[in-house]
A = this chain, B = another copy of it.
Amino acid sequence: MSIRTVVWNEFVHEQENAVVQSVYPDGIHNTIAAALANDETISVSTATLDQPEHGLPQSRLDETDVLLWWGHKAHGAVSDEIVDRVQQRVNEGMGLIILHSGHFSKIFKRMMGTPCSLRWREAGERERLWVINPSHPITQGIEKAIEIPNSEMYGEPFLVPEPLETVFVSWFEGGEVFRSGLTYQRGAGRIFYFEPGHETYPIYHQPDIQTVLRNAVRWAYNPAAPWKDVAKAPNVPISEAREKLEKKGPSLHKAGEAGYR
């Protein structure tokens, strides 16, 4: 068994900004992919915004178990059609890991239904992610907290639904807090939001951050067969009712007719 994982990156700042380029010369996606490749149960590849269909044709998504998403400057450039497709796959069972500024990605806002807004400050301040549940699969191998010497501040309120589990909460030097690791279940898919990862600091090079990413991929993987018809609303004919039933009263639909959508 191997968890087929795609690391998606908009891959813009690494090509436009000298600072970011110096930190991630091959792009954030390749740094993360290399970190995931250290786990032999993970089979990893990458995709970027500039590829045809953003590197996410239906055929590829159909063979993806877990998708990681990093975006910041170009959220608006992601096609709605691709977002529809990713959303459907998450509901079918694909895991989704949203990284850092991906909080404002179309796909995360779609899955949450809320604005996913927050407060922010780029001061290179110290961040400390406290483990809330040391027995959670995502926090295995992590001590009490992860220290990030230079980080972008993300502060509450973070406009997301109450999560399934609060896995990390962050402390910031400038005085803010943030729920920096949150899990969700949507349809058959598991979602993990993980806050660290500002592109001007070498955060994805940290071994403990890489451990969390590997853990998160394994956690988000749903081995159940994809739920292909998750969005269908099939009619159950009277003849197939589990209890014997006879039609009563007036009807809108004729027998065998599809429902409205």
Residues of chain A touching chain B, judged by Cβ–Cβ distance below 8 Å, are 13, 17, 19-20, 72-76, 87, 91, 93, 101, 104, 110-115, 117-125, 128, 130-137, 140, 145, 147, 150, 153, 155-159, 161-166, 169-177, 179, 184-188, 198-201, 222, 224, 227, 230-238, 241-243, 245-253, 259-261
Contacts and interface: CB of A to CB of B under 8 A. Distances in A.
27 contacts: A13-B252, A19-B252, A75-B261, A87-B113, A104-B259, A104-B261, A114-B186, A114-B187, A119-B236, A120-B235, A120-B259, A121-B237, A122-B252, A123-B241, A124-B247, A124-B250, A125-B248, A128-B242, A130-B156, A131-B156, A131-B157, A132-B158, A135-B224, A140-B224, A161-B161, A198-B252, A201-B249
Given A159-B230, A187-B114, A248 B123 contact: yes
B113 A186 contact: yes
A72 B234 CA distance: 15
B113 A227 contact: no
The quantity of this chain's copies bound in the complex is 4
Contacts of A174: 236, 238, 241-243, 245
Contacts of A231: 115, 117, 159
Most chain B CB atoms below 10 A, which of A93, A119, A150, A233: A233
A115 to B, nearest CB: 4
A173 B243 contact: yes
B230 A117 contact: yes
Contact of A156 (B73, B157, B169, B241): B169
Given A133-B157, A156-B132, A248 B121 contact: no
A150 B248 contact: yes
A171 B170 CA distance: 9
Given A121-B236, A135-B227, A231-B115, A165 B162 contact: yes
A37 B247 CA distance: 35
B101 A260 contact: yes
List 7 tightest A-B contacts by C-beta distance, closest first: A124-B249, A135-B188, A175-B242, A124-B248, A174-B241, A115-B231, A175-B243
Contacts of A238: 121, 123, 174
A93 B139 CA distance: 14
